[in-house]
Amino acid sequence: MMDLPFPPIEFRRLVGPTDTKFFDNTSRALVFPDVKPDAYASVFDFGCGCGRVIRFFEGLPKSCELFATDIDPEAISWCRENLKDLATFSRNNDEPPLDFAPDSFDFILAISVFTHLPESLELAWLGELRRIARPGAILLLSVHGQRGFWRVPSASYDELERRGFCYARCGATAGLPDYYQTSFHSEAYIREHWSKFFRVRGIVALCSQDVVICQK
């Protein structure tokens, strides 16, 4: 096991937990029945930030290749300097495509990404993740689900009740694009719309978010 350094507090603040113990434990909550990361040959962390989630994979066999991307150039620069022996890091653009061939990965993570995107961009990225996922690939994609509906601004309730989805402008996050706001999903919306891209195997609770387990 590598002795992985913790990112500076300004990077940890962008992804939520600043306490180093909680920061590390958050990634270790990504353990689900029937999902065994060490069985996969190629893992991709989409929206990796400063490496909060991909730290969980530090003990995988050398035969498992790890890749990670994010829109934040400073976070990617830090990861390249400090986690270079863990994964290959690169910056992605605000919109697809990614610099990967079709059918590249058999395990994909996107934690705290689809919690913040407008619908058109969400659908575009779901299509892109489908493109780069291998047949049979497992994807863990987190959302603000029904447990978090108490956070929905009153002005967005009508849209949420009508459509099962709403994109609320709750204030931009310093250092991230202005479109990076807050979105909420009902289970019915996910099963209707996300099933156009993947088989939705289940939805489970993870800290303050829910994780949609998908399969191509």
Which residue ranges make up each domain of the chain?
39-215
**22 three-state secondary structure:** helix
Average pLDDT of the chain, as a whole number:
88
Strands 133-143, 105-110: pairing is: parallel
**At 1, is the pLDDT very low, low, confident or very high (cuts 50, 70, 90)?**
very low
Q: So what's the pLDDT on residue 33?
A: 55
If one compares 41 and 172, the residue with the highest pLDDT of the two is 41
Return the percentage of the chain with pLDDT > 70, whole number.
Answer: 84
Cβ burial 176-192 (10 Å sphere, 16+ → b, else e) = beeebbbbbbbeebbee
Q: Where are the alpha helices (DSSP H) in the chain?
A: 9-14, 20-28, 73-82, 119-132, 157-163, 187-193
Q: So what's the pLDDT on residue 27?
A: 59
Is residue 144 within 8 A of residue 183, CB to CB? The reply is: yes
Is residue 203 within 8 A of residue 211, CB to CB? The reply is: yes
**185 three-state secondary structure:** strand
Is residue 72 within 8 A of residue 175, CB to CB? The reply is: yes
Q: Distance between CA 114 and CA 124 in Å, rounded?
A: 11
Global pTM value: 0.89
Contact partners, residue 56, CB within 8 Å, separation at least 6: 27, 28, 30, 37
**What is the assigned CATH class of domain 39-215?**
alpha beta
Q: Which helix (H) or strand (E) holds 137?
A: strand 133-143
**50 three-state secondary structure:** coil
**What average pLDDT does this structure show over 17-24?**
63
Q: Which helix (H) or strand (E) holds 45?
A: strand 42-46
